[in-house]
Chain A
């Protein structure tokens, strides 16, 4: 089963999202990176991920506002890289700002999801994302 790369810096958000994933019995292994740089290191199998199993994740769940390298910067790099540009990236953020939406889509994001206030709604959102991107969606072989 393919890995899901989850990029977020807020530990509370991480806990709640992982809880929501668990609720939905999504069994894919989840890798949590705390910012864009860490996420890139995972993709490139560098640093602490030097010895990981090779292969791209089946999707990236990406927060916008993060230290060092934010979500849009990471997105720009991934969507330009020949090896990574076909990985589905879903922006999962609390911002409903039109400018963020436009920037995201201009950089080639595959979906933009606003984190709902209600936890039950979050569970449902995570479920939909999981079903669609990890199960229904077909990806070209690497």
Chain B
């Protein structure tokens, strides 16, 4: 700060920028000389400036644009000619008037004024000036403030340009722009519509194209088909032509064949007629032959007679010679007689005619005989009809017989059903009370057994024994009845296999006895397995039972093959039986031995017989008391019964 305390030179002062702040302390030190110099300079300057101002003022005056100056209070201080013209008021009258008087929107003048004060300048500020004739004209103003040497605003300088033409151009432009926008919008909308239409048409076009492709393919295919058909047609035509020719050939052949046939038919008729004639002829010739034979015999006799006669004749010849001589003589006589003979010949011709007439009669006779033959044929037909009628009667009778068989079968079936119901009932109803008796005796013995005396216990045992006996009887009867009514399921049976499975448990059971089973190979049988098992079981059981008292038991089982049947047998060395009673052997409940010796129900062999009978076989037995028994049964074999064995 201290080094600045010095006097500045004039240059230094002039060089000081306007508004440079000078400390008051400094001002007091330098002011006097500086001011004097400044004043002188300023006066000189002013002379120049006035001249310049005059010069500028002319520019100002003649400008086409408005120029005007306004004081800080808003009053007009100066205007140019353009401004005068714009408002239609002379310069003198305008100066000192408020600017806002000549403007349509005074608040805009206010705002512009404030902006100038604030910022020092305003550009493109639009104002409408009022003309005294009432018209308004748009002007665009640029304005700036000008300040005195102290920086205080002393006025505003404004320049305005008439923008009527510009505005019009702008309006036109806006109008054009609007029109254009409208037009663009319209075109755009149209374009969208057109685009949509176009898109739609494109799709349609695509569809059409696709359809066209399909149609083309179809067309191609049809063309090919057409070509194929045409080719086939040509072949078919050829075939047809060929067939037509063939047909014509066949027709021609047919005509020929027909003719041939007609000819053959005629020939056949002729042949038939000839055959009939030939047959008649043959018959006639046969008769003739017989006649000739008879005649031959007569002729032979005649010949013998003639030989005798010849001898006689020889003798007579001699006489005849003599006679000849005599006859020569006579010849003459005879000549005359010849005449007579000729007459005789004529007579014989007449006779021949008579014979012809007789032949006609004979033919008529033949025709009559033919008629007779026809009659006989008709009678034969009648006889045949009678026979047919009788045959029908026989058939009717057979049908009736069949009906009766069906009826009888139905009756038999119903009877069988009844029997079945009866046996079913037996198995259920009859056994139930027996079971109850057994049950209650058991309970009685169990709970009160100790209360009975020995005799009472015995009675109870006997009741139990009887119950068991009866149960066996019922079971046996049921088995017997079942063997007669159940359906047979026949198949090929291995008898050795059946027998072996049956004797195995017996061997195990009768281990204390010496039993030798001798099983020979047996042929196959055809029958129901279960039934055949029961047959063998009964027979084997009997053999084992009735050999019980032998020291050594021998049982032989085997078979003999005969012509149509096999005969199976089982032989034992047991007690045997009296052949006088053999007829009772196979009857239900018939026993040939005492029950105390050999137990049993007397149903077993009856069941066996029933089974064998149902299989179409026979059963019989041979025995002597004490010498064992042999049982035989026959079954049809394969040799004579191939069909049934299938």
Contact = CB atoms under 8 A, between A and B. Distances in A.
Interface of A: 10, 12-13, 16, 19, 64-65, 93-98, 115-120, 122
A124 to B, nearest CB: 12
- Looking at B431, B435, B440, B471, which has the most chain A CB atoms within 10 Å of its CB? B435
Contact of A12 (B429, B431, B436, B486): B436
Contacts of B434: 117
A100 B531 CA distance: 19
B435 A115 contact: yes
B612 interface: no
Given A94-B432, A98-B486, A117-B467, A122 B439 contact: yes
Contacts of B435: 13, 16, 94, 115-117
Contacts of A13: 432, 435-436
B438 A117 contact: yes
A116 B428 CA distance: 12
B436 A95 contact: no
A19 B440 CA distance: 10
A19 B443 contact: yes
Interface in B416-443: 424, 427-429, 431-432, 434-436, 438-443
Given A13-B432, A119-B442, 17 more contacts: A10-B436, A16-B439, A19-B443, A64-B428, A93-B428, A94-B432, A94-B435, A95-B424, A97-B427, A98-B486, A116-B435, A117-B434, A117-B435, A117-B467, A117-B468, A119-B443, A122-B439
A98 B528 CA distance: 15
Contacts of B467: 117
Nearest to B433: A12
The 7 closest A-B pairs by CB, nearest first: A119-B442, A16-B439, A119-B439, A12-B436, A94-B431, A117-B438, A117-B471
Interface of chain A: mostly helix, strand, loop or mixed: loop
A34 B440 CA distance: 21
A65 B434 CA distance: 16
Contacts of B431: 94, 117
Contacts of B439: 12, 16, 119, 122
Contacts of A10: 432, 436
A7 to B, nearest CB: 15
Contacts, number: 51
Contacts of B436: 10, 12-13, 16
Contacts of A116: 435
A95 B482 CA distance: 13
13 contacts: A13-B435, A16-B439, A16-B440, A93-B428, A95-B427, A97-B427, A116-B435, A117-B431, A117-B438, A117-B468, A117-B471, A119-B438, A120-B442
Contacts of A115: 435
B37 to A, nearest CB: 134
Contact of B424 (A16, A19, A97, A119): A97
Given A10-B432, A12-B436, A94-B435, A118 B442 contact: yes
A11 to B, nearest CB: 10
A75 to B, nearest CB: 17
Contact of B428 (A12, A95, A118): A95
Contacts of A119: 438-443
Nearest to B468: A117
B464 to A, nearest CB: 9
A119 B438 CA distance: 7
A95 B442 CA distance: 22
A96 B427 CA distance: 8
Contacts of A98: 486
A64 B435 CA distance: 16
Contacts of B471: 117
Contacts of B424: 95, 97
A13 B440 CA distance: 10
Nearest to B442: A119
Contacts of B441: 119
Contacts of A95: 424, 427-428
A65 B443 contact: no
B542 to A, nearest CB: 23
Given A19-B443, A94-B432, A98-B486, A118 B427 contact: no
A116 B436 CA distance: 10
A118 B438 contact: yes
A102 to B, nearest CB: 12
A49 B441 CA distance: 35
Contacts of B428: 64-65, 93-95
A57 B439 CA distance: 27
A20 to B, nearest CB: 9
A118 B431 CA distance: 12
Contacts of A118: 438, 442
A120 B440 CA distance: 11
Contacts of B432: 10, 12-13, 94
A51 B99 CA distance: 121
A46 to B, nearest CB: 29
A98 B439 CA distance: 25
Contacts of A16: 435-436, 439-440, 443
Nearest to B425: A65
Contacts of A117: 431, 434-435, 438, 467-468, 471
Contacts of A96: 427, 478
Contacts of A65: 428-429
